[in-house]
Chain A
């Protein structure tokens, strides 16, 4: 028990592995495409968010503890996780009806 706790603590301290391939997310006409993204558990994820609309968006998620402005016409990286299995919703803070979810398996 104690050893596994220690191991867990150490694994937290060590830099977790980054998933091999970045994931892609596009914002167009105030919709996330795709609105549902799958990602592996236990690795750090690089999500490239591209905004094809004419106005800035803000990728935000309380579940993932992230917020990042995505200016119009730009693609920016957002680093996420590593996460346990589960669903992690996100939205555009500037258009709260624009919603998506990251599904970690």
Chain B
């Protein structure tokens, strides 16, 4: 029971932090609960499928199918986060300036929610597939009946959901004026972390060069297997011993996201002047 509790808690904890962050980032957007729940459900279903076909996936592409699959879903999540942060950058300004934009905002908000629901699904899929594999193994080994396993798993799930709720509560305690600045920053770091992990996973499959296996080692300060270490790993991509390619992907993603957000946040007059010039060059 304790083993099930610990492993379920550990995996759901990481996905739960991402869910908590995304709930905070969508504070006030109508119907976000439904989207996030949909993401969790889809991710959970996907996780059971991935666990069921783990042998097929692992055997694919000369044994590196798992890495390619993980990197692919991480890259999808990074793209979705990038899209969301660009949208937020553009939209925050619009909403402040003209109330008429609010109607559009709600529509756009729904689309942005879809992107974030995909991110939630990816997070749940990644961690959930490990939980499913582990619990399936326990059920097969049949040392103990399913009751302690399910009890342990259930308690682990509840505790992790509690952590996720605490993160959400902590974030939304930030005054609304600053909340989205904080969540936008965290989302950029989340995206960078996921890109870094994707690169690291591809390097571990020998698809990308590692550019140095340990660029540095900060495990004496904060170990990967500590709770804070794994929380920061899930949220901002912390790694005590990152590979070169991981750091490169992290930094590149962060810079690209900041530039995209800057560009998107430019006040629209600048853009409409450009548009006018394009239409009537002889003005």
**B-contacting residues of A (Cβ < 8 Å)?**
12-13, 15, 18, 44, 46, 54-56, 58, 62-66, 68-79, 81-83, 93-94
Report the stretch among B39-47, B86-94, B136-144, B249-257 that lies at the interface: B136-144
Between-chain CB contacts (< 8 Å), 29 pairs: A12-B244, A13-B209, A18-B206, A44-B206, A55-B138, A55-B141, A58-B130, A62-B225, A62-B240, A62-B241, A65-B200, A65-B204, A65-B214, A65-B243, A68-B204, A69-B54, A71-B54, A71-B55, A72-B137, A74-B58, A75-B63, A76-B59, A78-B204, A79-B203, A79-B205, A81-B213, A93-B130, A94-B7, A94-B137
Least CB distance from B217 to A in Å reads 9
Main secondary structure of the interface of B (DSSP, over half): helix
**A-contacting residues of B (Cβ < 8 Å)?**
7, 54-55, 58-59, 62-64, 66-67, 130, 133-134, 136-138, 140-141, 200, 203-206, 209, 211-214, 219, 223-225, 239-244
In the complex, which residues of chain B have a beta carbon less than 8 angstroms from the beta carbon of A94? 7, 133-134, 137
CB < 8 Å neighbour of A68 from B66, B211, B244: B66
- CB nearest neighbor in A for B6: A96
A79 touches B59 (CB 8 A): no
Least CB distance from A33 to B in Å reads 19
What is the CA–CA distance of A54 and B136 in the complex, to the nearest angstrom? 10
B223 touches A62 (CB 8 A): yes
Q: Which 4 A-B pairs have the closest CB atoms?
A: A55-B137, A79-B206, A71-B55, A56-B133
Least CB distance from B247 to A in Å reads 12
Least CB distance from A48 to B in Å reads 8
In the complex, which residues of chain A have a beta carbon less than 8 angstroms from the beta carbon of B130? 58, 69, 93
Besides A71-B133, A75-B63, 14 more A-B contacts (Cβ < 8 Å) are A46-B206, A54-B140, A55-B136, A55-B140, A62-B225, A66-B204, A68-B66, A69-B130, A71-B54, A72-B55, A72-B137, A74-B59, A76-B59, A83-B213
